[in-house]
Amino acid sequence: HSTVSFVLGSMLACTSFIMGGVLERHPTLKLVFLESGCGWAAFWLDRLEAGIQGGSRRLKIQGLNLTPREYFQRQCFVAADQDDPGIEHLIDAIDDSVILGATDFGHQEGRYYYKAKQDLINLPRVSAESKRKILWDNSLRAYPINADS
């Protein structure tokens, strides 16, 4: 079922790209994780860092110059629905520069896409600066288009 496969697929892809050294070897490659929410990312990056080193988050991972979190911050983005409870957790655990706003426009579960932007703006514990990044700035970094044209 897509409820499980999308999240697990994102976690496995994240593992392969980071731990397999792909992001190390291709520092300009950008990854965008879609259709899986954003709550998994904070937990999973911590598990990659701790699990590989026998539970120690302080050890360098062989073959990598950065931590999994640092690769994710530099090269990855994850889409979040406006009511995703993982938004605040991911901001606290990583930062707000990796989150993209999602609406699910065109999908059955996206029947409220028309109010997605306002719902995100109304989140009480997310700063106005973070909301601007999620709704605009991060998308321009993930998909480098000329916003003025």
Contacts of 101 (CB under 8 A, 6+ apart): 79, 80, 82, 116, 117, 120, 134, 135, 139
For residue 55, what pLDDT is reported?
58
**Nearest to 43, CA basis, from 74, 81, 8:** 8
For residue 53, what pLDDT is reported?
59
Q: What's the average pLDDT block by block, 10 residues per block, for the chain (149 residues)?
A: 83 96 97 92 90 66 89 96 88 94 66 73 91 93 79
For residue 133, what pLDDT is reported?
96
Q: What is the CA angle 36-40-42, rounded to 5?
A: 140
